[in-house]
């Protein structure tokens, strides 16, 4: 089919950058032949065929693990663990074998049916953790089918360094494979920008866009431009557009180099007010990037992602070892460790909730499973001996929840004292403000903690009633909605009225467009993706505190979100060079 002229697709930015290249579309639809009925005599052969495929894919994953360790280090080995655990899942193995033996379906048909069962379960689960497992399941299914059908699984060998990959979704393991091919950029039709895949793309410096409604009529090798600065994907760009973006990419690269030169300077406003910039940590391999990018510590350790390679919940000693590694890497700077923010299915794989996002999650779950939080608190107390470490409570909605954690900390301190083990006797306690209910009682909550950390990702999701993992709702998932800014202002006022600090640790902290609004709201610290630290540091340096307050007042005086966004862009053109 003849390709059309220039076409521009709006998209959500997951990882900043600009790339010019050629389309490489990956068709991830499962092209199964019709399932085949088999005789009783064929049952054993089909089961052996399936089990042989399982062993083959296990060996492939072992080879991938070795390759990843050689290329990226031991800290990246966790990338294959989700797939390895899935292949060992007795529920999956038994389901395929049962379909073959009872329903007399061939191995390929049984695999399709069994995996569809898991797709359906995960599709009903709205938690982003389980939405991400889609790509893990698909990856394993593809490999099993390819082995049985005798196809090659090395589908990325044809990539060259100008390829911009378009796919429905992608697993972190596939992304690592792409880095070998020096892929120029990634465009995904589904997924949320807070997913592990997108966090990793930012860490690796690969531009990435999400949520594109992309027609499949374009040919492989079609010229494309990925603009992950303004959120655009351009297909069949005209000559002038291509030339414009070549220049724009060069300017972007120069600006990036300039930002990196100044990354070790303290973050100060134009009139000298200090703002502490911290990094978010999801994986152990990011440790080296903390100091390298100029962060002044770690403002959020997402502990639920640190142990993807281990059965959950991890043991006290496993946690102790990893927390010590993190703390020692930035000492004497601050480290804020968030308690496990998981839902019930992560603890009990057989338990189903109709709506896990509104179910047992975060501190609610930890109260129900007290042994999990006690083990984690003990590990944190031991790891943080003689260090500046804080504990952060996720999904707080009441004073009683904070008091519960305080009692657990006091109790575990006494237990460690009885065992004559060293521990941090002055550990600070903070509360995540990510529920509208918590924001509205922040005055009461502030009396029980040493600081607040506003989780804007979930605050936006719950306040605006949008699923943040659903890319098709990205236009509604709006950090510039006046309700969100008013929540932040209110929480900051209540925190300061009670003499405690308040920070922001969600995606909003990564966005230089939002920086003057957050400083105008008197936010004390920002915690962000490590790659965002240099540009936010530059943004802070380009205006005074008073200018940021005027910017916030002007912004809130406008009712229309689109108009307010345009006013903010105009303000930046006058005061800032970061956009």
Cα distances (angstroms) measured from residue 49 to each of 62, 150, 251, 543: 20, 12, 55, 66
Tokens read off for 475: 């236009």
Q: How far apart are CA 447 and CA 462, in angstroms?
A: 24
Q: How far apart are CA 311 and CA 346, in angstroms?
A: 10
How many beta carbons lie within 10 A of that of residue 41, not counting itself?
7
Q: Beta strands 7-10 and 232-235: pairing type?
A: antiparallel
Q: Which residues contact 410 (CB under 8 A, 6 or more apart)?
A: none
Q: Which residues contact 354 (CB under 8 A, 6 or more apart)?
A: 124
Which residues are the active-site residues?
196, 505
Q: Is the dihedral of CA 358, 363, 366, 367 positive or negative?
A: negative
DSSP letters, 447-514, are TT-SEEEE-HHHHHHHHHT--TT-GGGTTTS-TT-HHHHHHHHHHHHHHHHTT-EEEE-SGGGG-TTT
Q: Exposure string (b/e) for 218-243, b if CB count within 10 Å is 16 or more?
A: beeebbbbbbbeebbbbbbbeeebee
Strand, helix or coil for residue 181 = coil
Strands in 215-296 per DSSP E: 223-228, 232-235, 276-281
Dihedral in degrees, nearest 10, Cα atoms 40, 44, 47, 51: 180
Strand, helix or coil for residue 333 = coil
Q: Which residue has the tokens 């804020």?
A: 336
Contact between 189 and 168 under an 8 Å Cβ cutoff? The reply is: yes
Strand, helix or coil for residue 369 = coil
Helix (H) or strand (E) holding 196: helix 196-204
Question: By C-alpha distance, which of 459, 453, 366, 455 is closest to 407?
Answer: 366
Q: Which residues contact 84 (CB under 8 A, 6 or more apart)?
A: 58, 61
């Amino acid at each position: 089919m003849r390709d059309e002229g220039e076409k521009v697709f709006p998209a959500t930015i997951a990882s900043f950058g600009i790339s010019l290249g050629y389309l490489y579309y990956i068709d991830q639809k499962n092209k199964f032949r019709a399932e085949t009925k088999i005789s009783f005599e064929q049952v054993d052969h089909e089961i052996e065929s399936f089990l042989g495929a399982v062993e083959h894919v296990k060996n492939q994953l072992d080879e991938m693990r070795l390759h990843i360790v050689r290329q990226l280090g031991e800290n990246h080995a966790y990338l294959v663990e989700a797939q390895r655990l899935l292949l060992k899942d007795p529920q999956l193995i038994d389901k395929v074998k049962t379909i073959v033996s009872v329903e007399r379906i061939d191995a390929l048909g049984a695999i399709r049916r069994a995996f569809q069962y898991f797709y359906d379960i995960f599709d009903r689960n709205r938690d982003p953790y389980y939405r991400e497992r889609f790509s893990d399941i698909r990856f394993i299914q593809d490999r099993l089918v390819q082995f049985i059908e005798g196809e090659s699984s090395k589908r990325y060998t044809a990539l060259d360094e100008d390829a911009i990959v378009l796919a429905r979704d992608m697993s972190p393991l596939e992304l690592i494979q792409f880095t070998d091919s020096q892929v120029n950029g990634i465009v995904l039709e589904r997924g949320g920008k807070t997913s592990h895949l997108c966090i990793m793309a930012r860490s690796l410096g690969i531009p990435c866009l999400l949520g594109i409604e992309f027609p499949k009529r374009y040919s492989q090798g079609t010229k494309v431009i990925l603009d992950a600065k303004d959120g655009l994907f351009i297909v069949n760009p005209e000559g002038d557009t291509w030339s414009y973006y070549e220049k724009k990419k060069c300017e972007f690269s120069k600006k990036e180099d300039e930002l990196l030169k100044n990354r070790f300077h303290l973050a100060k406003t134009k009139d000298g007010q200090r703002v502490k910039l911290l990094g978010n940590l999801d994986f152990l391999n990011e440790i080296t990037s903390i100091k390298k990018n100029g962060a002044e510590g770690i403002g959020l350790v997402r502990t639920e992602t640190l142990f993807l390679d281990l059965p959950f919940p991890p043991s006290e000693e496993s946690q102790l070892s990893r927390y010590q590694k993190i703390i020692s890497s930035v000492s004497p700077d601050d480290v804020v460790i968030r308690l496990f923010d998981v839902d019930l299915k992560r603890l009990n794989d057989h338990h189903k909730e109709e709506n896990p996002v509104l179910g047992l999650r975060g501190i609610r779950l930890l109260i129900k499973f007290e042994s999990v939080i006690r083990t984690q608190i003990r590990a944190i107390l031991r790891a943080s001996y003689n260090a500046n470490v804080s504990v952060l409570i996720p999904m707080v909605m009441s004073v009683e929840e904070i008091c519960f954690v305080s009692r657990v900390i006091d109790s575990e301190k006494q237990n460690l004292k009885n065992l004559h083990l060293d521990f941090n006797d002055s550990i600070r306690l903070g509360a995540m403000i990510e529920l509208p209910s918590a924001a509205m009682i922040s005055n009461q909550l502030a009396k029980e903690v040493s600081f607040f950390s506003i989780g804007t990702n979930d605050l936006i999701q719950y306040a605006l009633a949008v699923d943040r993992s659903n890319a098709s709702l990205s236009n509604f998932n709006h950090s510039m909605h006046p309700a969100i800014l008013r929540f932040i202002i209110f929480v900051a006022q209540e925190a300061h009225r009670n003499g405690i600090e308040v920070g922001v640790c969600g995606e909003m902290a990564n966005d230089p467009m939002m920086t003057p609004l957050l400083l105008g709201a008197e936010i004390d610290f920002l915690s962000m993706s490590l790659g965002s630290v240099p540009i936010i540091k530059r943004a802070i340096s380009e205006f005074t505190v008073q200018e940021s307050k005027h910017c916030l007042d002007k912004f809130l005086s406008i009712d229309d979100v689109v108009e307010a966004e345009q006013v903010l862009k105009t303000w930046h053109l006058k005061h800032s060079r970061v956009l």
